[in-house]
Chain A
């Protein structure tokens, strides 16, 4: 099994790599298997991880309390609401009443909007303002003073760049330009930084092909 699995893995690796040369039947074959298996995997794992424990086990538990203890008050019945909303989602497949699926959709979008309105205001605005409030002049430490000043100017100009309702002209335009320079430095740095981790991934694959599979690398 081990060797067989190894060979399968190696052949699939080569099949995907062949895409670099051009689109070809072997790649298309690997791609189709990949999509099919991933969709199946996703459904099965979602079922066993969420649907089964959350919906099935809870509702079953609630039914058994009802039958054995005759008690109807059980929080777990609330999962029925989720189940109903879920079924409403599936009604999309029936053209005439497909609009019912807007209910669960609205539920998800509404809760997201309410939640993110507040969390982004807190994490992206309040917390960032707080960490940007730094003394521009630190007595006796020129280095820190200068870098604090640059950070301040960078945040200021970066924000100016994102203004939409004012023409980027004159001093305002100048600040916006400095802002986009700062952004470009960041994007460049981010690119340079990522090269290392992407190369590590390739090294990992090469290691697998030439080491684990062919035994050329010790």
Chain B
């Protein structure tokens, strides 16, 4: 017992002794060598990189290097300023400068700089020789993004091929989607009941592809409602979306040959705040009692608030979104739900235009390529072929 107490007391004392005396005892580490400066690849031309050979006392020798400090100057004779620090064991530093002239971190393109590396051991350090001069310049192509470029090319080839094939009149099969097949019935029901149809585009803005995909569906549905002379109400969350939705619905009425019965005030703005928008749409559902509600686009927490209220109002409901967290609520509270990619496919289903079906086919081929990559990848990973994994590594 006494012994352990003694040890508990003595150990800190020993440690204190060593720690206090260490600065005098620690020898200076050897400096790093072969310092090379060069332009940072794949950037906008305001960054330089520097590499070096580790100090012999980093991880070996006296093993006392804890970090490297990177210093920079405009000429070898000038005073060097500290640009950053990396822990021991690292031998690369990106000296990222600013693009703005006013910024104090500004690093101009096409101007030479010199570097020096300091090996640090607590309070003492040693410095390397001065590096070669290097200047920064911007690149025309980001080599790290080649995998994405390959993806763009492959996918575009698929799309163009199938669009051409479809235009030539090749028949393309598409599997049925229950949500889409219900559209005609849903519009018919509204006509019989003499009640309007409600189309909710969700909380997306015109800068969401899901919303734009929903426009195409809205256009088709507007056309069907115009043929049936049924009212379609489109409450909007965003003003730009409202403008586009007005054009879309008007186009649908024109295609049906009924521009005379189009009413612009039926496509209207509510508000751009999530729950206030929900309150407005819910009120609309309870007071106008639409026969059918469509919820297609981007939806967040309001999905269930809308769908439940719609079911209280006794409407048939068709929903679809690419927000995975909201799909369970749509499945629970609406009659038909388009899941993820099905939302993007729906416009092709309603239009049955060959070009749209062609891109659908391209999407399928995209999936086939992904599946092949996954199978090959699983094999490669099981047998430790790292190179295959690197094919998909995108550097930013």
Are A135 and B381 also in contact (CB < 8 A) when A35-B279, A118-B152 are?
Answer: yes
The answer to whether B382 touches A137, judged by C-beta atoms less than 8 angstroms apart, is yes
A74 at interface, CB cutoff 8 A = no
Please, what's the 1-or-0 string for B106-133, where 1 marks a CB less than 8 Å from any CB in chain A?
0000000000000000000000000000
B20 at interface, CB cutoff 8 A = no
The answer to whether B378 touches A135, judged by C-beta atoms less than 8 angstroms apart, is yes
Are A121 and B148 also in contact (CB < 8 A) when A112-B207, A130-B389, A164-B360 are?
Answer: yes
Shortest distance from the beta carbon of A208 to any chain B beta carbon, whole Å: 16
- Contact residues of B between 231 and 262, Cβ < 8 Å to A: 240, 243-244, 246-247
* A122 contact from B172, B276, B389, B394, Cβ within 8 A: B394
Bound CA–CA A39/B332 (angstroms): 31
How many A-B pairs with Cβ below 8 Å? 162
- Contact residues of B between 306 and 336, Cβ < 8 Å to A: 324-325, 327-329, 331-332
Please, what's the 1-or-0 string for B355-395, where 1 marks a CB less than 8 Å from any CB in chain A?
00000110110110011011101101110100011001110
The answer to whether B273 touches A164, judged by C-beta atoms less than 8 angstroms apart, is no
The answer to whether B272 touches A121, judged by C-beta atoms less than 8 angstroms apart, is no
Interface residues in B, total, Cβ within 8 A: 67
**Can you list 24 A-B contacts with CB-CB less than 8 angstroms, sorted by A residue number?**
A23-B286, A31-B279, A38-B276, A42-B273, A105-B240, A109-B244, A116-B209, A122-B148, A125-B370, A126-B147, A127-B392, A129-B377, A130-B392, A136-B382, A162-B341, A163-B175, A164-B175, A164-B345, A165-B173, A165-B360, A168-B175, A186-B324, A187-B328, A190-B324
The 10 closest A-B pairs by CB, nearest first: A133-B377, A38-B276, A38-B273, A187-B328, A191-B328, A135-B381, A130-B392, A135-B382, A39-B271, A112-B207
Q: B-contacting residues of A (Cβ < 8 Å)?
A: 19, 23, 28, 31, 34-35, 37-39, 41-42, 89, 92, 101-102, 105, 108-109, 111-113, 116-118, 120-122, 125-127, 129-130, 132-137, 152, 155-156, 159-160, 162-168, 183, 186-188, 190-191, 194
Q: A-contacting residues of B (Cβ < 8 Å)?
A: 145, 147-148, 151-152, 155, 172-175, 206-209, 212, 240, 243-244, 246-247, 270-273, 275-277, 279-280, 282-283, 286-287, 324-325, 327-329, 331-332, 339-342, 345, 360-361, 363-364, 366-367, 370-371, 373-375, 377-378, 380-382, 384, 388-389, 392-394
